[in-house]
Amino acid sequence: MTAAADAEGRMLVRRAKAKNPDSFVVVTGCLAQDRPEEMAALPGVDLVVGNAGKSRLLAKILQAHPNPRGLDHDHLSPVAFPLSPWLDGISRFDGHQRATVKAQDGCHFGCSFCLIPRVRGEMVSRPGLEIVEEARRLAQNDVKELVLAGIQLSSYGRDWALKAGEPRLAPVVEKLLGIPGIRRVRLSSYAVADFEESLLPLWESKSGLCPHLHLPLQSGDEGVLRAMRRPYTLDHYRATVEKVREAAPGVGLTSDIIAGFPGETDEAFGNTLQRIREFGFVDFHPFPYSDRPGTPGEKMAPKIPPAVVRERMNRLLDLKGECLVRSAQKALGKEYRVIVERNGKGLQAGLSDEGLRLVFPEREGWLGKETRVKVIGTRDSAAWAEWV
Ligand code: SF4
């Protein structure tokens, strides 16, 4: 939950109502949980449902709007359309061969800048059988790539009575890869804390688990990491990267970095730049730090002046560009199988198995479909590819 995500959420509400004035707009998720009154006051919002009420979302909509246009009450009754906290029942992402499947929710850590433990509650893992069932339905609808998602995916299964080191997510991934039609499984954001060693053989054996790991680092300075209350040290992070690189030498690492956390000195920021280079990220997302009301970070000092945060963000964006150009140069001449995504400006894009974003000229009718592209150069700090 960042300030940028907040702003995007508000913009989506405005856009939904502007596009269809008759629409019934429901705001749900973390913002709705944390600031329900503020969300309800947004022009165009008809209903606000916090995270806790999401499993009964449909019932709440029907209650608030007894005769919503286009909805058939009998068809949507809880009997015909069973609801679970995991929004069970999704069986297709129209026209898209990649689908996201939620495996876990909540977080049992307490980073000082983060609202998630407060708004999403305790860590809870979705039973493997449910995940596999949903994946089967998706595969029957032509989905070829699954993205396993969660708030703190590396903690999957930690809420079960398992012994330390016992496999948690790995057996689920193996089952998913055994479903006819599913070619690969990608982990969304993963973490160093609670890292599951039993995933390593899956990368080693090239099982179909994408060699791409998004491991948020947030800062490359030990003191800042401590102030952020991140559940790892730099040594721990480094050791995890080494283990993964040993199992999958070509693995693509991506990350998140926060600029301007309270107390971040020039030296600490310099350490972050060095660590980004050391870990050789394919790409990373830089975020300017902003206080989240009610978090320990809000009370931390000294705050970094906005002009300094902007300057650090610019340096991070320059470094991000360098990382992307270096990764694109390494990929030059290679062919990749990608699912075609939107890019805008007459272009489309796709993510390589290693997490490198490839950009290529748009072709009508291909959105969401699988294709092969070949990297032929770099353009605007991205890997520039052509259709094969
Ligand atoms: S690990 Fe930290 S940043 Fe990530 S969800 Fe948990 S508390 Fe938030």
Residue with the smallest CA separation from ligand 1 atom 1 is 109
Query: Per the structure block, which two tokens stand in for 49?
Result: 């449902």
For residue 151, give the ligand 1 atom closest to its CA.
5
Using alpha carbons only, what angle is made at residue 246 by residues 242 and 250, rounded to the nearest 5 degrees? 100
- Do residues 28 and 49 make contact, with C-beta atoms less than 8 angstroms apart? yes
The string of pLDDT tens digits covering residues 207-228 is: 999 999 999 999 999 999 999 9
Alpha-carbon span 214 to 240, nearest angstrom = 12
Query: Ligand 1 centre from 258 Cα, in Å?
Result: 13
For residue 231, give the ligand 1 atom closest to its CA.
1
Alpha-carbon span 3 to 113, nearest angstrom = 12
pLDDT at 1: 54
pLDDT at 79: 39
For residue 115, give the ligand 1 atom closest to its CA.
8
For the chain, which residues make up each domain, given as ranges? 1-83, 86-329, 332-387
Mutation test residue for ligand 1: of 114, 190, 285, the one with most atoms within 8 Å of CB: 114
Residue 104 CA, distance from chain mean position: 12
pLDDT at 87: 58
CATH number listed for the domain at residues 332-387 = 2.40.50.140
Query: Ligand 1 centre from 117 Cα, in Å?
Result: 7
Residue with the smallest CA separation from ligand 1 atom 2 is 111
Please provide residue 272's backbone torsions phi and psi, each rounded to the nearest 5 degrees.
-65, -45
pLDDT at 71: 47
Q: What is the DSSP letter of 304?
A: P
For residue 117, give the ligand 1 atom closest to its CA.
7
Query: Ligand 1 centre from 164 Cα, in Å?
Result: 21
pLDDT at 10: 79
Residue with the smallest CA separation from ligand 1 atom 4 is 152
Burial (CB count within 10 angstroms: exposed 0-12, middle 13-18, buried 19+), residue 162? exposed
Residue with the smallest CA separation from ligand 1 atom 8 is 114
pLDDT at 244: 97
The string of pLDDT tens digits covering residues 60-92 is: 776 676 555 444 444 444 433 444 566 544 555
Q: Is the pTM of this model over 0.75?
A: yes
Query: Ligand 1 centre from 174 Cα, in Å?
Result: 27
Mutation test residue for ligand 1: of 30, 108, 109, the one with most atoms within 8 Å of CB: 109
Could you state, in chain order, the average pLDDT of each consecutive group of 10 residues for the chain (388 residues)? 70 81 80 79 82 68 61 44 53 76 94 91 92 96 94 95 90 98 96 96 96 98 98 98 97 98 98 98 97 95 98 98 95 96 92 96 94 94 93
From the list 253, 132, 136, 151, the residue with the least C-alpha distance to 194 is: 151
Query: Ligand 1 centre from 109 Cα, in Å?
Result: 6
CA atoms within 13 A on the CB side of 57: 20
Could you write out the three-class secondary structure of the chain?
CCHHHHHHHHHHHHHHHHHCCCCCCEEECHHHHHCHHHHHCCCCCCEEECHHHHHHHHHHHHHHCCCCCCCCCCCCCCCCCCCCCCCCCCCCCCCCCEEEEECEECCCCCCCCCCHHHHHCCCEECCHHHHHHHHHHHHHCCCCEEEEECCCHHHCCCCCCCCCCCCCCHHHHHHHHCCCCCCEEEECECCCCCCCHHHHHHHHCCCCECCEEECCCECCCHHHHHHHCCCCCHHHHHHHHHHHHHHCCCCEEEEEEEECCCCCCHHHHHHHHHHHHHHCCCEEEEEECCCCCCCHHHHCCCCCCHHHHHHHHHHHHHHHHHHHHHHHHHHCCCEEEEECEEEECCEEEEECCCCCEEEEECCCCCCCCEEEEEEEEEECCEEEEEEC
Query: Ligand 1 centre from 332 Cα, in Å?
Result: 36
CATH number listed for the domain at residues 86-329 = 3.80.30.20
Binding-site residues, ligand 1, Cβ < 6 A: 107, 109-111, 114, 116-117, 151-152
